[in-house]
Structure 1
Amino acid sequence: MVDIEQLNPHNQAALRAWWEVGHAATAERPGKPWPLWETSRVALPAPNPERGITLLGAIDGREMVGAGLLTRTLKENLHSAMAFAWTRPDRRREGIGRRLAQELEVIASGDGRTTLQSEAYLPPGGAGTAPEAFAEAMGYVVASRESIKELTLADYADRRDALAVETDTARDYRIITFDTVCPDEHLGSFGRLLGMLMDEVPLGELDLEASEWSPERIRGAEQRQVDIGRHVHTAMAIAPDGAVAGVSDVRVDDDDPVHGQVGITIVDPAHRGHRLGLALKLATHDLAVATYPELRVLDTSNAEVNTWMNAVNEALGYRTIETLLELQKKTV
């Protein structure tokens, strides 16, 4: 019999077994689909003011053969949670993933979460795959489609100078950069821009609400990044009146300086049309390259309908390696 158990993330042996299942289950995907053990070992048990997590293990005897994860935001969207289930490749098609998914749904319901979201990954432009079939069987529908893109920094170096010429229209804005911790003088304006994020990025049919970012909330989120060794290399565009007009970041973990990931990119609608998005991305990519000589690859994802951001990323040299299906299920 396979038992489904909740795991204590502070139990290193259990956490390592959980991590090994996810690592094996995602090994066939391109890019870097699973974090390094050293990153997970620090990040998962660490206090998180933004998200609560529950880890599940599918245990057969003394072996972990499946892993589950439920995350839920703690400040907004209290009706929703994200659920993920992975099965060790040699134990697929035994119903383990289904049992994990069902247990995650029970836990979410007990926490008052009535909208579940998840993800499925396909080859670029693919369809009719096993992850899609599993999601449909579990009652999930596709709420949005995204492209996962990867950038080799050698390709970026070849394109960088020509792209910089295109940012001349942003000359009236001052671009500043920082590592993780926003300067005090821009904190309030930064929070205002973060609060726009859910309203400005294409969400498709995802049932998500806008958020509010007070200075205290920003500082708490920054401290978590510092505590787990994640550097959020951020560029801000400062308008002539001193307001934050746009922001973008690249994130690199101390434990994995070879790979990085683009976080958010947003430009205030009142300041669009000046190539600020491109200028900000050039600034963050330049900063990451200068900070980490060993950095080789960055990845990002964008909604397929976000033609503007997709065009910017393709100009930088990003190439699509996967299609991401954003899945959703409403339980009431």
Structure 2
Amino acid sequence: MSPSAHVTPLQRASDTEAASWHQVVAASTAHDMPGVLAPSLGQIHAQLTQPALGSRRLTWLATTADGTTVGVAGLRLFTSPSQQHLAELELTVDPAHRRLRTGSLLLSAVVAACRAERRRSLVATAAADSPGEAFSERHGFRRALILNHLMLRLDELDVAELLRIADAERPGYRLTGWTGTVPDELADTFAAAKNAMNDMPVGDLDYGSVAWDAERVRAMGKVVADRGDTLQTIAAVHDDGTVAGYTEILIPQGLPPRVQQYDTAVVPAHRGHGLGLWVKAAMVRRLRAEHPGVVEIETDNADDNVHMLAVNHRLGFRSYRHTREFQLDVPAT
């Protein structure tokens, strides 16, 4: 069968191209993952036009002869020193145009770019038991990690238990919080705490690590703000002034009813004091007070991250779907 689409690189997305990209993603999400919220047009536009942290992005469109966009692909090229071998793929084909080699054509362009950029590891995410999973395995990707996605509905909370956890004293520690970029007086110690994320379970992914410093955490705050989203942080600070643990929530632009959990981490030297549960409970309390329109928090954990899964279940998070992380080892030639 001859190709039904033509693949071209996208240099900088126009409003029309961003809208076409959004249509493909929304149609695919509704078809493959009923009940999962697709990103908004504003989020897609920001993703395509705003710089990301610690990476740069290549994009492609697959269009039919009449100019209709039927598939999209984005390739995130990581720039951190220990991740320069790594690229991350997002590939979506409109359900009405599948099985016409559109996905294969997009993937061929992506793999060629990986070789040109000297990337040996290409990672991708697909919903469990979805067409994306079958496509990945058919094209030589191997399963590397299972992610358990959980949801907390704020209207179903055990509020008394939440407040008991959030208000509990942790001798030697205090809670603090901020919106957006970390305050200057905590920037260095917050960056040191961010490095605790490097020991989270990543299965068989060749993911590398990220070195956080004050400059990088400030850059993260700017990236989130520039794309119109809001980042809220709650941290546990030790009596010596260092950040011992923290949790982050991303509130997408437009204040939708569902927000996203970002990082939660406790510095190894401070583990065993219940700080992860403490900061997450305090964050939920803050969301209820400041953003009453928020009704759901979504998070995900590796299936073997037993400790964080236990923390989330204690707060009332419940599993509602799984995704799988895949990796393709890209040959040099």
Relative to the length of structure 2, the TM-score reads 0.92
Alignment-derived partner of residue 319 in structure 1: 318
Which residue identity does 1:64 align to in structure 2? T
2:115 to 109, 117, 121: 109
Alignment-derived partner of residue 40 in structure 1: 44
Mapped to 1, the partners of 2:182 and 2:151 lie a distance apart of 27
Alignment-derived partner of residue 64 in structure 1: 69
SS class of match (2:240): coil
Alignment-derived partner of residue 270 in structure 2: 271
Alignment-derived partner of residue 187 in structure 1: 187
Mapped to 2, the partners of 1:113 and 1:251 lie a distance apart of 29
Query: How many residue pairs get matched?
Result: 324
Alignment-derived partner of residue 173 in structure 1: 173
Which residue identity does 2:193 align to in structure 1? L
SS class of match (1:81): strand
Mapped to 2, the partners of 1:10 and 1:86 lie a distance apart of 16
Which residue identity does 1:258 align to in structure 2? P
Alignment of 1:93-132 (within 5 A): 93-122=99-128, 127=129, 129-132=130-133
Structure 1, residues 206-225: CA drift from partner, whole Å, max 9, x if none? 11222212212221221111
Which residue identity does 2:126 align to in structure 1? A
Mapped to 1, the partners of 2:23 and 2:113 lie a distance apart of 23
Mapped to 2, the partners of 1:31 and 1:186 lie a distance apart of 39
* 8 Å Cα contact 2:150/2:318 also seen in 1: yes
Alignment of 1:186-225 (within 5 A): 186-198=186-198, 200-225=199-224
Mapped to 1, the partners of 2:271 and 2:165 lie a distance apart of 14
Which residue identity does 1:120 align to in structure 2? A
Mapped to 1, the partners of 2:224 and 2:241 lie a distance apart of 26
Alignment of 1:21-36 (within 5 A): 21-28=24-31, 29-36=33-40
SS class of match (1:26): helix
Give the root-mean-square deviation of aligned CA atoms: 1.7
**Comparing 33-42 and 133-142, the one that deviates more:** 33-42
SS class of match (1:23): helix
* 8 Å Cα contact 2:196/2:266 also seen in 1: no
Structure 1, residues 164-214: CA drift from partner, whole Å, max 9, x if none? 43463624311101002111111111111212312x210111112222122
Alignment-derived partner of residue 5 in structure 2: 2
Relative to the length of structure 1, the TM-score reads 0.92
Query: Aligned in 2, Cα 1:152/1:9: closer, same or farther, shift over 3 Å?
Result: farther
* 8 Å Cα contact 1:145/1:304 also seen in 2: yes
* 8 Å Cα contact 1:236/1:245 also seen in 2: yes
Mapped to 2, the partners of 1:280 and 1:36 lie a distance apart of 29
**Comparing 202-211 and 24-33, the one that deviates more:** 24-33
Deviation at 1:163, TM superposition (A): 3.7
Q: Mark the runs of 5 or more structure 2 residues left unpaired by the alignment.
A: none
Alignment-derived partner of residue 252 in structure 1: 251
Mapped to 2, the partners of 1:88 and 1:288 lie a distance apart of 36
* 8 Å Cα contact 2:114/2:330 also seen in 1: no
Query: Aligned in 2, Cα 1:293/1:211: closer, same or farther, shift over 3 Å?
Result: same
* 8 Å Cα contact 1:36/1:256 also seen in 2: no
1:83 to 74, 79, 89: 89
Q: Mark the runs of 5 or more structure 1 residues left unpaired by the alignment.
A: none
**Comparing 129-138 and 311-320, the one that deviates more:** 129-138
Identity over aligned residues, as a percent? 27
Query: Aligned in 2, Cα 1:308/1:139: closer, same or farther, shift over 3 Å?
Result: same
**Comparing 207-216 and 62-71, the one that deviates more:** 207-216
Structure 1, residues 1-50: CA drift from partner, whole Å, max 9, x if none? 41001123431111211111111111131444421112222342013342
Mapped to 2, the partners of 1:311 and 1:49 lie a distance apart of 30
**Comparing 181-190 and 212-221, the one that deviates more:** 212-221
Deviation at 1:147, TM superposition (A): 0.5
Mapped to 1, the partners of 2:275 and 2:195 lie a distance apart of 19
SS class of match (1:5): strand
Structure 1, residues 40-79: CA drift from partner, whole Å, max 9, x if none? 2234201334221122111102111111111122224010
* 8 Å Cα contact 2:142/2:328 also seen in 1: yes
